[in-house]
Amino acid sequence: MTALAARNRLSLFAGLALVAGMAALGFASVPLYRMFCQVTGWGGTTQRAESAPGAVAGKSVVVRFDANVSPSLGWSFKPERGRETVTIGEKSIAFFTATNLTQQTITGSAAFNVAPSQSGAYFAKIQCFCFTEQTLQPGETVRMPVIFYVDPGMLKDPDARDVEEITLSYTFFPVDRAKS
């Protein structure tokens, strides 16, 4: 084999390895980005927790609840209360109701976000309907809790300590059974 043929073969294998690596990175980017957001709270992604750390006396924040539904779902969805003042570090609970307005059984899944985004790292959910699919029978109404707390670490973060209101927003979408 000549030196030119050896270089061409090396170039071919290097190019194929580069293409394979880029394809693998493309497939891995969505789960890696999701993990990054969950760990850092970046982009308003909330944290998951087992329990609340305990109330910080005299420190509170207003939490506003927002509910949206994809037009193709056929549900009504709303918070029972539009806003609530919560003590930082203390476990709180909010309820949302969803009603299936159609004559067919429908399964939905909720996507969520927290604004402002710098508060996402400090908004922790202990229990949430957004972690599971929700199936409603025709005309059925369900009451769904969200148990959460605002982490006291927010008070030490120069970017988040002055946040006076946090918005927890949900949007329900239909679950496409053909893809699942």
Please choose, from the candidates 123, 129, 116, the residue with its C-alpha nearest in 3D space to the C-alpha of residue 149: 123
Please tell me which residue, 6 or 73, carries the higher pLDDT value: 73
Residues 33 and 83 in one domain: no
pLDDT at 25: 58
Residues 83 and 69 in one domain: yes
pLDDT above 60 (res 11)? yes
pLDDT at 46: 55
Window from 27-31, 68-72, 84-88 with minimum mean pLDDT: 27-31
The answer as to whether 179 is a domain residue is no
Amino acid letter, residue 149: Y
pLDDT above 60 (res 164)? yes
Residues 30 and 118 in one domain: no
**What's 160's DSSP letter?**
T
CATH of the domain at 117: 2.60.370.10
Domain that holds residue 9: 3-40
Mean pLDDT of the chain, nearest integer: 84
**Residue 108 near residue 75 (C-beta atoms within 8 A):** yes
The answer as to whether 60 is a domain residue is yes
Q: Where do the H-state alpha helices sit in the chain?
A: 3-40
pTM of the complete model: 0.70
pLDDT above 60 (res 42)? no
pLDDT at 87: 96
Beta-strand pair 47-48/123-128: parallel
pLDDT above 50 (res 41)? no
The answer as to whether 33 is a domain residue is yes
How much of the chain, in percent, has pLDDT values that exceed 90? 57
Residues 76 and 125 in one domain: yes
Rounded to an integer, what distance in angstroms lies between the CA atom of residue 76 and that of residue 2? 72
The answer as to whether 161 is a domain residue is yes
Look at the block and give the residue holding tokens 């699942």: 180
Residues 101 and 34 in one domain: no
Helix, strand or coil, per DSSP, at residue 131: helix
pLDDT above 70 (res 170)? yes
The answer as to whether 52 is a domain residue is yes
